[in-house]
Structure 1
Amino acid sequence: MIVAIVIAMLILIPLVAAACMSEDYVIESDITINASRQQVFDFVKYLRNGDRFNKWVMEDPNLRKEFIGTDGTEGAVYKWDSDVKNVGQGEQEITSIKEGERVEYEIRFVKPFSNVCGASIATKDAVGGGTQVSWSFFGKRSFGMRIFHFLFNLKNVLRKDLATSLRNLKNQLEKS
């Protein structure tokens, strides 16, 4: 009887937690970089530069990549395919650019799960000098994805990955 109650609780807790979670999510991290806003923006608007700071891209040195369109402009697409599970397969498209301030993307994941989300990288002048860079992921979660987010504390995991990527970006831009 006790074993049945424990099993029921192990099943019910994630289901109830997922039911209480919002369908909408935002995951964001930011950093201050000691470089001009234009210098930072001119670097982050190019999809190809992700090779030099994006944690997920850097996880697979054998990543298969394809670039479609003119990089750094609306409509440019970066496709990736990896045998590394954390990297997976998908594509990222630049959907909007506000010059010197913000690049917005649509990210379409194929593997290890199918999902579509939005992302943006924004730059603004930091108090005291330099540039504040904010990287955000946002979208809607299905009930299954909410369970996944709860079970694996995905929001915190992804926030840490964003912070790692932003530290890589800071190191890349401050050394040049």
Structure 2
Amino acid sequence: MNFIKKIFFGLLGIIALALIVALFMPKEYAVEREITINKPIDSVFNYVKYLKNQNEFSVWANIDPNMKSTFKGTDGVVGAVSAWESKVKEVGIGEQEITKISEGKRLDFELRFKEPMNDTAMGFMSTEMVAVNQTKVKWGINGVMPYPMNIMLPFMNMDQMIGKDLQQGLDNLKAKMEK
């Protein structure tokens, strides 16, 4: 009986320590990638602002060829929503809503994941003229991991997990735009 008490209090101590450590761990993450596309800024921005076009270059949209996509509202304007539904775990179920547009410069959106996890993140795509026929495109996603789950954030390496997919998406966008 004494041995079981020691194990119980030992486990309780480990859990308490983890909860205390989580108080001091970061809760926020931000991942961003960029690429230069050899096209004028207006043609690049006018392509990326449409949610339907994002399905053409996004890595996540291309994982499952059977993914069901639906759209609500007027694509390319604030309030437009793109929703997806897939049985593939890496894709899951969720939606993306345009929350702000700075015409020719930046598109902000909210990502609402429903399955396999329930989470909300913010994202953006921005364009910046490098030269008359060159545009720098940045794609970023940031979010908050709630306490006490934030204790896993330093071990998850969100930059590597999300960053490679953002970069591949930008590479796909560049190839598509420069055809």
**TM class, shorter-length:** 0.7 to 0.9
Alpha-carbon offset, residue 157 of structure 1:
1.2
Partners of 2:169 and 2:46 in 1: CA distance: 17
Unaligned runs of 5+ in 2: 1-6
Mapped partners of 1:164, 1:145: distance in 2: 28
Correspondences of 1:130-149 after superposition (within 5 Å): 130-149=134-153
| Percent identical residues | 40
Cα 1:142–1:130 shift into 2, 3 Å: same
Q: TM-score under structure 2 normalisation?
A: 0.84
1:40 and 2:44 matched: yes
Sort the Cα spacing of 1:70 and 1:27 in 2 relative to 1 into closer, same or farther, 3 A: same
The alignment covers a number of residue pairs equal to 169
Equivalent in the alignment of 1:82: 86
SS in 1 for 2:39: coil
Q: Please say if 1:121 is aligned against 2:125.
A: yes
Asked whether the 8 Å contact 1:17–1:150 carries over to 2, the reply is no
Give the unaligned 5+ runs of structure 1: none
C-alpha displacement at 1:154, in angstroms?
2.6
Q: Bigger CA drift: 128-137 or 95-104?
A: 128-137
For residue 108 of structure 1, the aligned residue among 94, 108, 112 is: 112
Please list, as runs of the form range in 1=range in 2, the aligned pairs for 1:8-19 lying within 5 A after superposition.
18-19=22-23
Tell me the CA shift for residue 17 of structure 1: 7.0
Distance 2:17 2:64 in 1: 35
TM-score by length of 1: 0.85
SS in 2 for 1:143: coil
> Larger Rg: 1 or 2?
2
Deviations 1:38-78 (A, max 9, x none): 11000000000112100000101000111000000110000
Counterpart residue identity of residue 84, structure 1? V
Q: C-alpha deviations, 1:137-172, integer Å up to 9, x for none?
A: 112221354244333323211011100110000011
Alignment partner of 1:98 out of 85, 102, 125: 102
Partner residue in 1 for 2:4? none
Structure 1 position 153 matched with structure 2 position 152: no
Q: Which amino acid aligns with 2:146?
A: S
CA separation in 1, counterparts of 2:54 and 2:126?
15
Displacement after TM superposition at 1:18 (Å): 4.9
CA distance in 2, matches of 1:13, 1:40: 50
CA RMSD of superposed structures (Å): 2.5
Structure 2: which amino acid aligns with 1:108? R
